Amino acid sequence: MIAVDVRTGKRATDFAEYPEGTNTFDRARGFCHLAIKVLVVIVAPQTFRPSRGWFRTIVLVHLQIFRTVDDAMTPDNTNPDQAPKRRKVAESCKLCRAKKTRCDGQHPACSSCTAKGFECEYNAATVPVSNVVLEGIESRLRKLEQQVNSPPAHGTGQDYSVSYPRWRTQPHGNPTVEAGGDPESEASVFLGENPTTQFMREITEMADAQSRGHLRHDPLWEQNDSPPVETDRLSMVVPERAVSDNLLDSYERLVYPLFPILHMPTFRNYYERLWDSRKQGRFETQAEEAVFYATLNVVFALGCINDSATESHLKMRTADCFYRRARKILPLDALDHPSLGVAQYLLLMSTYLSYTKYANRCCNTLAVAIRVCHIIGLGVDADSSSPNQLNREMSRRVWHICLTLDRLFSSVFGLKTMVEVDCAVPFPANIDDEYLKEEGTGTQPIGTPSIIEACIVSINIFQVIEDARKLKPRFSEPDFDLHELTQVLQLNGQIDKIEGSLPPHLKACFIGTPSTPRDQVLRLQAEGVMTRILYARLFLLRPYVLSAARRSLLNPATDDSLSQSPNSLHSTIRTEISKTCVQAATSAIFTLHTNLSFKSRIFSCNAMFITLAAATVVIAASLVSELGISLDDVGPHSTTLSQAFKVLDEHMWQIEGGKNVKNRLIRFLEIVRRENKRRLDETQNPDICSMNENGQVPNTDNIIEEFDFNDPLWTFQWTGWSALSDSMGPQYTFI
């Protein structure tokens, strides 16, 4: 260990040869000048864990530097006969230095400031450390080193295990570490480790294995002190009370029952604080405040879109203002505090974006939400043993809503799900928000239907949809594999089982008018669950209707697409599958059309998707003569299509690009009607034949290219979503 004068580059006398606590450097050479930058300490390389400890070596270097500086400022009175010189103070106070007057450097206040009654203040960073303080630090260091080098109290082996604590997440706060845990290892519980951090952890464990009970390290990141970066506090504003109350009520009546992401009593408690001057600013951290205001603005955006009091032409524009304000308050690159509140905010943001043209943002935001849930342990049910029922149930609810939205968006956009299988996290309890307790165990009153039950049913429905996506029908084959048809029938049986086990309040019943707000919520949930069941059935069975329509369109001379062998089991099964699918499509459109007369409406994005899927089934099925569907006369299927267009007209203004989707559907209907008319003319006049020698209708290739029957869901180029559709390729689509 050497000292080097940075002005000359020459090596000083060996630093280790001098006894500790003495200053034997030559002051004349300037090594102990107050400008400590001239002194550079170089530590020679050593093997790992020297006899005296590498940590002690480094600390002793710092202690010796402090002593050198302190001794340099101590008067040198080696000659007692010589008159002592005036002591040069190490640092003048700020006031004396500003006035350029003499200062005696006394602490805590100099004589000049004391005499004049002024407040005396020093620069704390430049105040020298006394030898007494340094010796105390060194003494404690020696004791600590003795503890490190002492043998273990029990056994002879070293314990390198790490005790991982669990995250305890508040509904609208940041995760904290439970007592007794080691915060340093907290992040590795769910984040995992790269090779560098793993190496550092192992080295630290070996160095401090015996002193873990005496040392406590800082956590990987501070959970309560550091605010999120780039938070726009000017955006933390709300509309006037009447407007805010109306938007929040609209969200709670129309959005929350279908996706109960928030714990409404807790959220309303925070909301009421905004209007109470005595409770304003009562957030524990700035991060908690930012998450709440961002969440509130997304809630306002969702409430605005579904609010009947807001003028139609202003809904999307006003909702977009709330959305942009939320992004300013809590942008994605400022999510430094993974918590349950952040996950809830991201799920709400994903739900809102499903209304807009930003499909890529919708899916990407959901991906971030799932990643946040993994970080805080929701995917492994980290709060399973928590005595706090509220935290435990909300964690499970948020995780399963993540899975539900993941499967919904994946089926709509043709993407692969981000979470394939999840069996580790139990379903949330069938208990409403107001009965969940932080202490003790709350229960749902007997005879009171729970709003959460619709969420649990939806989880099962979308699990069937996920299983249906794993089937890959071969549309080019003349017959489907019997094993494949068996799987389809089994999944359809699961849908029948879910529908048959619905509680009374979730069975769609359109007789009478709901008398209370809760009855309106239950009716909305019943309609939402029924549309999801019908959508699952459409998703499962529609490929087989489209396959039959494709073969019929390409080769009408053999229009026995469903009846090539009247006695064949394959033919019978496929015919029944197609009829069941058409019936599900008709029921879905009827349900959504009936919902238009109610104040509580199904999400516009869901209504548009399901209507489009059902309408294409009815139109395509008219090409299959075996099904006996006619679109020209005034019949049930023609009425169904009229209802479908009314649903699109009512909802498309809330979905950017909805008008283009309607136009595409109209064009597809015209093409199919023209093809059916051509067939009818050929039947009435056999002399007219438009088929070539191969039995195929010419000029049908364009229809196949534009409406790809090979895919279960056709790729409609929704305005603003074309980039996503192009990136998916022709094998993907949305409804």
Residue pair 38/7 in contact by the 8 Å Cβ criterion: yes
Angle subtended by helix axes 658-684 and 636-651, to nearest 10: 160
pLDDT at 470: 83
Q: Which amino acid is present at 519?
A: D
Give per-residue pLDDT as tens, 631-651. Answer: 877 788 889 999 999 998 888
How high does pLDDT run on average in the chain?
Answer: 72
Residue 15 has pLDDT above 60, yes or no: no
276: helix, strand or coil: coil
pLDDT at 342: 92
715: helix, strand or coil: strand
Each domain of the chain, given as residue ranges in start order, spans 1-74+128-150, 91-121, 233-452, 488-728
Give per-residue pLDDT as tens, 153-184. Answer: 444 333 333 333 333 334 444 444 343 344 44
Residue 425 has pLDDT above 80, yes or no: yes
| pLDDT category of residue 126 using cuts at 50, 70 and 90 | low
pLDDT at 382: 82
Give per-residue pLDDT as tens, 331-376. Answer: 766 666 788 999 999 999 999 988 776 766 788 899 999 999 999 9
Residue 574 has pLDDT above 50, yes or no: yes
- Of 326-335, 634-643, 683-692, least confident by mean pLDDT is 683-692
| pLDDT category of residue 709 using cuts at 50, 70 and 90 | very low
Cα–Cα distance measured from residue 187 to residue 223, given in angstroms and rounded to the nearest whole number:
11
Cα–Cα distance measured from residue 573 to residue 481, given in angstroms and rounded to the nearest whole number:
11
- Of 245-254, 352-361, 457-466, 508-517, least confident by mean pLDDT is 508-517
pLDDT at 386: 82
Residue 713 has pLDDT above 50, yes or no: no
Cα–Cα distance measured from residue 629 to residue 636, given in angstroms and rounded to the nearest whole number:
9
| pLDDT category of residue 263 using cuts at 50, 70 and 90 | very high
Residue 30 has pLDDT above 50, yes or no: no
Paired with 281 in beta bridges are: none
Residue 583 has pLDDT above 80, yes or no: yes
Of 299 and 274, the one with more pLDDT: 299
Residue 716 has pLDDT above 70, yes or no: no
> Highest-confidence range of 165-179, 296-310, 562-576, 667-681, by mean pLDDT?
296-310
Residue closest to 165 by CA, chosen among 341, 377, 342 = 377
Of 248 and 683, the one with more pLDDT: 248
pLDDT at 474: 60
Residue 225 has pLDDT above 60, yes or no: no
Angle CA(728)–CA(734)–CA(735) in degrees, nearest 5? 160
Residue pair 393/169 in contact by the 8 Å Cβ criterion: no
441: how many CB neighbours lie within 10 A of its CB? Answer: 11
- The CA distances from residue 61 to 3, 35, 39, 66, 138, in Å, are 10, 17, 12, 9, 11
Residue pair 100/56 in contact by the 8 Å Cβ criterion: no
Give per-residue pLDDT as tens, 546-566. Answer: 878 877 777 655 544 454 555
Tokens of residue 118, six digits: 């002024």
Q: Please tell me the pTM assigned to this model.
A: 0.64
For residue 17, what are the contacts with CB-CB under 8 A and spacing of at least 6?
Answer: none
Q: What is the mean pLDDT of residues 675-686?
A: 75
Domain 91-121: homologous superfamily in CATH: Zn(2)-C6 fungal-type DNA-binding domain (4.10.240.10)
Q: What is the mean pLDDT of residues 217-233?
A: 48
Q: Which amino acid is present at 735?
A: I
pLDDT at 301: 93
pLDDT at 202: 59
Angle CA(332)–CA(334)–CA(339) in degrees, nearest 5? 85
Element (DSSP H or E) covering residue 40: strand 39-42
Cα–Cα distance measured from residue 252 to residue 247, given in angstroms and rounded to the nearest whole number:
9
Could you write out the DSSP letters of every residue in 406-444? Answer: HHHHHHHHTPPPS-----SSPPPPS--GGG--SSS---P
163: how many CB neighbours lie within 10 A of its CB? Answer: 9
Q: What is the mean pLDDT of residues 645-660?
A: 78
| pLDDT category of residue 668 using cuts at 50, 70 and 90 | confident
Determine what percent of the chain is predicted with pLDDT higher than 70. 61
Could you write out the DSSP letters of every residue in 198-264? Answer: HHHHHHHHHHHGGGTTT--PPPSS-SSSSPPTT--GGG-----HHHHHHHHHHHHHHTTTTS--S-H
- Locus of tokens 């190496």: 199
| pLDDT category of residue 47 using cuts at 50, 70 and 90 | very low
Give per-residue pLDDT as tens, 498-529. Answer: 999 999 889 866 555 677 888 888 888 998 89
Q: What is the mean pLDDT of residues 684-697?
A: 56
Residue pair 538/584 in contact by the 8 Å Cβ criterion: yes
Residue 40 has pLDDT above 60, yes or no: no
Cα–Cα distance measured from residue 441 to residue 460, given in angstroms and rounded to the nearest whole number:
26
- The CA distances from residue 672 to 550, 630, 667, in Å, are 11, 11, 9
pLDDT at 54: 47
Q: What is the mean pLDDT of residues 288-293?
A: 89
Residue 490 has pLDDT above 60, yes or no: yes
Tokens of residue 58, six digits: 């480094």
C-alpha of 244 from chain center? 25
* 214 CB burial (10 A radius; 0-12, 13-18, 19+): exposed
What DSSP state is assigned to residue 428?
A: P
pLDDT at 666: 87
* Overall size of the chain counted in residues: 735
Determine what percent of the chain is predicted with pLDDT higher than 90. 22
Residue 26 has pLDDT above 70, yes or no: no
| pLDDT category of residue 259 using cuts at 50, 70 and 90 | very high
Residue 1 has pLDDT above 50, yes or no: no
Q: Which long-range contacts (CB under 8 A, 24 or more apart) does 150-154 make?
A: 150/210, 152/210
Residue pair 352/395 in contact by the 8 Å Cβ criterion: no
pLDDT at 199: 55
Cα–Cα distance measured from residue 320 to residue 718, given in angstroms and rounded to the nearest whole number:
19
